[in-house]
Amino acid sequence: MLPVVLLPVGADDDALDACLGALDAGTPAGVRVWLADDAQAGPRGGAIIERWLQRTRLQADYTRRQQPIGEVAHVDEMLKACAGLDVVVLAPDAQPLPGWLQQLAACFSRDAAIATATPWCNAGEAAAWPRLGEINALPADFEHTAQACAAMPPVHAELPAAVAHAVAIRGNARQRVGGLDASSYVSWYAALIDLSLRLSGLGWRNVLCETAFVARGGEGGPADGDMDAIYARWPAWNARLAEFLMHDPLHGMRERLERLHAEVGPPRPQRDLFDAAAIPVQDTSEDTVAGPEDPALDRP
């Protein structure tokens, strides 16, 4: 069973259009997707979503609030509605590469201690490729890059925290650690760091999924005051991140991906290379609970 994809809708219409196109092209038919709009999309964005819903192969639902409640509170509502299900929260300006969701699910199936899995990204900070901590160019050929990633060994190295371009979150782990802290943080960027550190404190792992890639036009970032709140609650965070960036434990993996990217031949048809059935995935959720197809999620 593949995770449910949660997409908090943003205000950038062009980025949303590109995201939905890549999501449809790179995700197996029938996957559950929930587009949740915290009163962000304008008329053009609404039209883009409506057209996409009419033609997508995915099992998609769209909800919109009449008044915004804020990014963190909104994502927290989405996570709570999905209860114990494994989910992937996708940034509204992200562009998933083929096979991304199957690879994230396979990552969870390899180690029950993994609570969050973050794919590579051209603008993924600690998970950035080809250069660490930089905003690199979008991959020139999505299928070619995805094929190179799929050939990577699934080591699932530890990250300082999950990164917000795309993150798979194990449902039972999130339930045990509690919800997001909407009273302390304004941005999903900061709330995700806090969630990752709480998970790590309880013995869960926040890892890199080396076999998946999700592109993004730019990095996410904290809202004003968010990092002060992080440093106050987690005094060791700054040193932890600085040590990771200075010692660069993913250097060898990024070099290996670069070699594979240069070595792989022309990509085979997407349906052959990234057939969901080709990657065995187990359902790691402990509970069977309401998902985006349920009427409860149609609330504004």
Which domain, by its residues, includes 192? 4-270
Alpha-carbon distance of 201 to 54, in angstroms, equals: 44
Is 275 within the bounds of a domain?
no
Query: Domain with 243 in it: what CATH number?
Result: 3.90.550.10
Is 57 within the bounds of a domain?
yes
- The reported pLDDT for the residue numbered 254 is 97
Is 288 within the bounds of a domain?
no
Q: Are 101 and 31 in contact (CB under 8 A)?
A: yes
Mean pLDDT by groups of 10 residues along the chain of 300 residues:
96 97 98 98 97 98 97 97 96 98 98 98 94 93 97 97 98 95 97 98 98 94 97 96 94 97 70 41 36 38
Is 219 within the bounds of a domain?
yes
Q: Are 94 and 122 in contact (CB under 8 A)?
A: no
SS (H, E, C) 43-107: HHHHHHHHHHHHHCCCEEEEEECCCCCCHHHHHHHHHHHHCCCCEEEECCCEEECCCHHHHHHHH
Q: Would you give the DSSP letter of residue 181?
A: -
- The reported pLDDT for the residue numbered 266 is 62
- Report residue 255 as tokens: 């070099």
Global pTM value: 0.88
- Tell me the CA end-to-end span of the chain in Å, nearest whole number: 27
- The reported pLDDT for the residue numbered 269 is 53
- The reported pLDDT for the residue numbered 295 is 35
- Report residue 259 as tokens: 């070699």
Is 26 within the bounds of a domain?
yes
CB atoms within 10 A of CB 287: 11
CB atoms within 10 A of CB 112: 14
Q: How many domains does the chain have?
A: 1
Is 90 within the bounds of a domain?
yes
Is 239 within the bounds of a domain?
yes
Alpha-carbon distance of 58 to 23, in angstroms, equals: 9
- Cβ neighbors of 74 (< 8 A, separation 6 or more) are 8, 36, 38, 65, 68
Is 229 within the bounds of a domain?
yes
Among residues 189, 179, 180, 199, the alpha carbon closest in space to that of 226 is found at 189
CB-count burial class (<10 Å; 0-12, 13-18, 19+) for 241: middle
